Structure 1
Amino acid sequence: MLTFLAGLGKALSSTGISVTTIQSILYNVARAYQVKAEILVFTTFIIIKVGDEESSPLTTVNQIYGLSQLNTISELYELIYKVEKAEITPREGIKCLKKINAHPHRFGKIGMLIGYVFFAVGLGLLLQPNSQQLIVSGILGFLVGILLIFTQDKPRLALIKPVIGSFLVSIIFFWGVKNGFLTGSILLIIPALAYFLPGATLTTGMFELASGDLISGASRVIYGITILFLLLFGVLNGFKIIGLPQEDLLVVAAANTIGWWAPYIGIMLFGIGMFLFLSMRNRDFPWVIIVLYVAFLGQSLGNYFIGGFFGAFFGSLLMTISGALIGRSPMRTPSFVSTLSAFWLLVPGSLGFITLANLIGPNYSSGIADVIQVIMSVVAISLGLLIGAVIAEPLKLQKIKLKKFKK
């Protein structure tokens, strides 16, 4: 039992799930087998005690910038559903974990590369739907996709991937602007670099802080901020090498030259990209698409009636509730899988129009204001997650009571 709980905890931790959720799952499993356990979960290690036996501290691998496979996570949750009801023995659970961890990527490297191109082009259609954005997003997304695939089995490169990616993308972008091939809108580089944006990391960290897991929450927030600085470092160096005057940069989105329907097509392309890039199961794909449209609709309504921060909050709220409801449906698509993709929609949508050029130039007061906007957007998304979880919890309890009544 100790070995199984340790393996399950390590597998969950490697996906980037909050330590609050991991601890709750492990305690539920221990109770299902009527075992008294003491469990301590942090972002980088786990300690578990079952009876008089205690595991040595287990070092976990934070794969926020690894290429986690969503089909593996879905199967991991299927195993959790079984062991929370004690339907299999811990020994069988260990065998299932080994089998799950051995699954290869469904679509291989070529599928991953095609998926990332779709990922970038889909986000480009959301940010500024025009032909230039589509071409640039596709080309830069192709280059970043090659980088991600090349470094996927090299954990030592995890922290320098954002620097390399942002440096290469910015070099190409600023060179194109300097030579008149591209307009100066900084928004052109966001879709290709969106995978590196630590929106999910910062939001999960805020969620953990609000849940009382101060050490894990604080470390995750610091890690996310570090990634942001690494991204900025790469962009700054690309800017300095090309020597582009700051006045040549634009920070306003270009007009929509494709049509009002472009963002809705963009969401579908983005969803297909996530399906291929992160090895999603076929039966999970429709539910992920539904959550993406729900999050986009919530964000759009919030932006229209109140403003950007409320849009981020309302999109996150609807995303969390819809993901929780889908996770309890007969299809059993885990809420983590159905909502993970929506983070990339919410974060670029909330932060895409922040004037990144102010961080490059001497206008530091405006740059500080932009940093505050970033923080408030993350807080808004985190608040939506928290309130969504509070709303969804009574629905779960009501479902449990209904099952007992039927029995």
Structure 2
Amino acid sequence: MADKQSEDGQNAPAQGPATPATANHSDPRQEEWGTADAVIRPSDPEAAYLRTISTPASAPDWAESSSAPASSRTRKTKPVSEATAPESAQQSAPHMDNSTQATTQHDQADKNAVSSSSNEIPQAIPPQTEVKKPRIPDVVVVGPQSILRNPLQSLKGMLFKEQTQSVPISHTQDKIDRILSMMRLLGIAMLKSSHATPDVRDTMLEIARAYNMPPVRVVTLPTLIAIQIEGTDRRAEIGALEGQAFRLDQSAQIDALVDRARRGVIEPDDALAQIERVMNSTSRFNPFVQLVGQILMTLAIGLLINPVWPAIPAYLILGLIVGVLTLIGRRFSTMSIAMPVICAAVVTIVASTFLVDLTHEVPIRLIAPALVPFLPGGTLALAAMELTRDEVISGSSRLIYGLSQLLLLAFGVVIGMAIVPDTTTTNEVVLNSIGPWTPLLGIALLALGYVFARSAPEGSYLWLVVALALTYGAQRLGMLIVPPEFSGFFGALVVVPLARFLSKFRTAPSATVTQLVSFWILVPGSIGFISFTEAATGSTQTITSFVTTGISLFAIALGIIVGSGLLGTRERSGG
């Protein structure tokens, strides 16, 4: 009986006279929309609007009219009585005659008959189901309202850098040659940024996996990198270092490129163009500002290794001399090799002739801070670290290079002392005669000197001060536990984890920049230079000085390795 009534209900509108409201719609039930308040029919004013926003029958349940306003959002429901319709729905249009109203009432009766049947559901009205709305991901919006709603997420969004989620590039199999060239230039750039050779090799292997490259073999040395595809395809790329080491801002830009390449989200041609721009970029500051930075670095190192009031004018004068000679040497490439010897000889002559009587200090204590640009502290630390990681060739070559730099500086000092006789040396422990705040002043000046002389990235000054202060504080705490020559282990222990943590903040520089600056606060180069110079001038404590320097270097290297290992374990565990 219900089926028969349903069929009659469908044919009923066709038998009556056609009206403007029903002439184009043979089945009124397919043009009805159920709202939260009533059933709206084709003749109602709201029908035209709902027809434009209604969801097709083939659309899934969860896609139901989510873009419409809440007041007009449709839902699938059984027809309700016309008594519950709003007042606007019960009023007939002015142009509708009595036959049209009769037809509409007849349609409503047929609709009620269909709804009473539990065995058949009209095709245009699917069974009533629970609407499944898609889950909207949490979006952190920085602002006053978001802080009130979710303060922790908003604070995290304001302080830390966003985790970039990018889509890897496609068709990497067609770009193998360009990817190899990109890997070669990135490897050279990392070596010029003073990365350890095992770190460069591991990074190249990560990049190869990110770009779905065939198995590759990577060989890295301090001045060379070779990348070859294994198997039948023997394509290879070999690159060698040329020119000077990168400035700090260049190292930061290379770190950003390496991070994108590790995730395989940068096109090889784009990476090659950006690497070329970084290599050809100039310093953010003019030569005069760089000279000021050199003077500040000399004063800072002097306050850290020989904090006495009379020596401060000597630090400023000698720093000015070395800074001017360094700028001149950059313009004449033939003088760059001999520049360490020239600078060491000149500052020794000036310190021994004019500054000894002014400061009443031993010349060797005044000379060491002035030769900061040539002290191979970072090179010696990397050499010891590579040797402890079984990188025999890289570690030994770096160690020999660092020792040769110290020998050149010591040779220049010997020449200066030969020109100015009666120059004395001493191995007495230097006491701080300025005050307990001297190390903090030295740290602040050292960070500022790095910004000016080495062109540290913009906005990195405060972060460099924090990194230097924490590293120096850890080393000083270590001196309360172990002898001073072993205290570098505790300072180096926090260098890598601290650099990685600070690099997560929005305005902080990259981890490489912070690590390079933190190496200097451990002053292994200054200790080695003083030891070599005292040995060259005939000090009776030669063997003791060499042993102390070696212990300090390897303690620093061991601290870096242990800190890196702890950080890697924590990252793998999800910390």
- TM-score higher than 0.5: yes
In the other structure, the counterpart of 2:220 is 41
Distance 1:7 1:354, change over 3 A: closer
User: What are structure 1's unaligned runs of at least 5 residues?
Assistant: 403-407
1:386 partnered with 2:386: no
**Equivalent AA in structure 1 for residue 457 of structure 2:** R
> Shift of residue 330 of structure 1?
5.1
Does residue 1:279 correspond to 2:460, yes or no? no
**How far 1:73 moved relative to its partner?**
0.8
Cα deviation for residue 166 of structure 1 reads 1.1
Does the aligned pair in 2 maintain the 1:122–1:270 contact within 8 Å? yes
User: Hey, what's the Cα distance between the residues in 1 that align with 2:509 and 2:564?
Assistant: 17
Helix, strand or coil for the counterpart of 1:94? helix
**Structure-1 residue corresponding to 2:402:** 224
The C-alpha deviation readout for 1:318-354, integer Å capped at 9, x for no partner, is: 2222113223555563222102112222125982896
Taking the aligned partners of 1:209 and 1:252, their CA distance within structure 2 comes to: 32
Deviations 1:29-64 (A, max 9, x none): 11111112221111122211246253353221374x
1:66-145 aligned at under 5 Å gives the runs 66=245, 68-145=246-323
Segment of structure 1 superposing worse, 389-398 or 354-363: 354-363
For residues 269-320 of structure 1, the C-alpha deviation after alignment (integer angstroms, 9 at most, x for no partner) is: 1100001111111233322221100111011111233221221111111222
Within the candidate set 492, 500, 519, 1:343 is matched to: 519
Partner of 1:397: 572
- Residue of structure 2 in register with 1:54 after alignment: 235
2:367 partner letter: I
1 or 2 for the larger relative contact order (CA 8 Å, sep ≥6)? 1
Match of 2:154 in 1: none
SS in 1 for 2:523: helix
- What does residue 405 of structure 1 align with? none
Instruction: Please state how far the C-alpha of 1:204 moved relative to its aligned partner.
Output: 0.5
Are residues 334 and 345 of structure 1, via their aligned partners in 2, closer, same or farther at CA, if it must alter by over 3 Å? Answer: same
**SS where residue 282 of structure 1 aligns?**
coil
| Displacement after TM superposition at 1:142 (Å) | 1.0
2:346 is equivalent to residue 181 of structure 1: no
Residue in 2 that maps onto 1:7: 185
Which residue identity lines up with residue 384 of structure 1 in the other structure?
G
For 2:139, the equivalent position in structure 1 comes to none
Q: Cα distance, 1:141 vs. partner?
A: 0.8
Runs (5+) with no aligned partner, structure 2: 1-178
Secondary structure in structure 1 of the residue aligned to 2:371: helix
CA distance in 1 between partners of 2:550 and 2:572 (Å):
33
When structure 1 is superposed on structure 2, of 154-163 and 42-51 the one drifting more is 154-163
Cα pair distance change 1:99/1:256, threshold 3 Å: same
Whole-Å separation in 2 of the counterparts to 1:189 and 1:107: 26
Matched letter for residue 49 of structure 1: Q
2:466 to 268, 290, 293: 290
2:398 aligned counterpart, secondary structure: helix
What is the Cα deviation at residue 5 of structure 1? 1.0
1:72–1:362 distance in 2 versus 1, CA, 3 Å: closer
Tell me the residue number matched to 1:377.
Answer: 552
How far apart, CA to CA, are the structure 2 residues paired with 1:156 and 1:294? 40
* Larger proportion of helix: 1
Distance of aligned partners of 1:356 and 1:73 in 2 relative to their CA distance in 1, 3 Å threshold: closer
Shift of 1:396: 2.5
Determine the structure 2 residue equivalent to 1:214: 392
Distance 1:201 1:155, change over 3 A: farther
Q: Which residue of 2 aligns with 1:333?
A: 509
Shift of 1:129: 2.6
> Structure 2 CA distance, aligned partners of 1:333 and 1:156?
34
Matched, 1:303 2:484: no
Letter in 1 for 2:228: K
8 Å CA contact retained: 1:184, 1:250 = no
Which of 207, 210, 226 does residue 32 from structure 1 map onto? 210
Tell me the amino acid that sits aligned with residue 390 of structure 1: G
Query: Structure 2 counterpart of 1:241, which letter?
Result: I
Greater mean alpha carbon deviation, residues 22-31 or residues 269-278: 22-31
How far residue 362 of structure 1 moved from its aligned partner, in angstroms, is: 3.5
When residues 330 and 182 of structure 1 are mapped into structure 2, their CA distance, relative to the original with a 3 A threshold, is: closer
Cα distance in 1 for partners of 2:213, 2:189 equals 21
For residue 216 of structure 1, what is the amino acid of its counterpart?
S
CA RMSD of aligned residues (A): 2.4
Question: Residues 91 and 368 of structure 1: is their aligned pair in 2 closer, same or farther, counting only changes over 3 Å?
Answer: same
Corresponding residue SS for 1:46: strand
- Closer, same or farther: CA 255–18 of 1 in aligned 2, 3 Å: closer
Q: Quick one: distance in 2 between partners of 1:230 and 1:277?
A: 23
Closer, same or farther: CA 368–95 of 1 in aligned 2, 3 Å: same
Task: Give secondary structure in 1 for the equivalent of 2:406.
Answer: helix
Letter in 1 for 2:276: K
SS in 1 for 2:487: helix
SS at match of 1:131: coil
Tell me the percent identity.
Answer: 27
Q: Secondary structure at the match of 1:325?
A: helix
Contact 1:199 1:344 in 2 (8 A): yes
Q: Is the 8 Å Cα contact of residues 144 and 192 (structure 1) preserved in structure 2?
A: yes
1:109 Cα deviation after fit: 1.0
Q: Does structure 2 retain, via aligned residues, the 8 Å contact 1:47–1:54?
A: no
Residue 24 of structure 1 aligns to a residue whose secondary structure is helix
Q: Which runs of 4+ in 1 moved over 6 A?
A: none
